[in-house]
Amino acid sequence: MDKIKVANPVVELDGDEMTRIIWSEIKNKLIHPYLDLNLEYYDLGVEHRDATNDQVTVQAAEAIKRHGVGVKCATITPDEARVKEFNLKDMWKSPNGTIRNILGGVIFREPIICQNVPRLVPGWTQPIVVGRHAYGDQYKATDFKVPGKGRLTIKFEGEDGTVIEREVFKFPSAGVAQAMYNLDDSIRDFARASMNYGLNRKYPVYLSTKNTILKAYDGRFKDLFEEVF
């Protein structure tokens, strides 16, 4: 049987533990026998990320930008226990978060509906697709432990001299703090991608925010979605 020729390379992002084995089986049994395909390989196993100071993750993301498509296996995002287990140099950030921020994309999760697999809700005949903004927010947040009683503030210094400073909280004792951000252009891209996806699939689009609580942050998402719409 002649193999199907795939014109462009596909970026291959290998992962950790059992996913390496499963992905190898998929390639050997389902891909290579049928496709003449050039896979551009990057090893995102936690030990190789550590050896390259996580530069391999950046290189993989840049390769996806060049070629337009990549396949990624599940990877370990190390916590304290994993750092000790693998003797890592640092508690490296999530590869998914790094890749998403470089690509600036949107994550769409869509279930595969099989007629012979019973659904928990039989009346649902169409999939519910969840789209999630993939830039900034928690994945690029700055967080730290607060050692004790004190005052937490947040400050913006504009290049034009504008200064915005807010008191966040007066800590009565030890705790934790976090600051995160997003960009108008990225939110607009998220809105366009979501609406185009809905138009292409002929699905209604719903935006979920907490703008009643986060009036500026989530409110900006609501306003820009309305602008793009």
Q: Is the dihedral of CA 173, 175, 181, 187 positive or negative?
A: negative
Residues with Cβ within 8 Å of residue 160, at least 6 apart in sequence: none
Among residues 163, 155, 107, 159, which one has the least CA distance to residue 133? Answer: 107
State the pLDDT at residue 135.
83
Element (DSSP H or E) covering residue 35 = strand 35-36
CA pair distance 191, 97, nearest whole angstrom: 19
- Asked if residue 104 has pLDDT above 80, the reply is no
State the pLDDT at residue 77.
94
State the pLDDT at residue 181.
95
Which pTM was predicted?
0.71
State the pLDDT at residue 95.
93
Residues with Cβ within 8 Å of residue 107, at least 6 apart in sequence: 100, 131, 132, 134
Residue with the larger pLDDT of the pair 127 and 228: 228
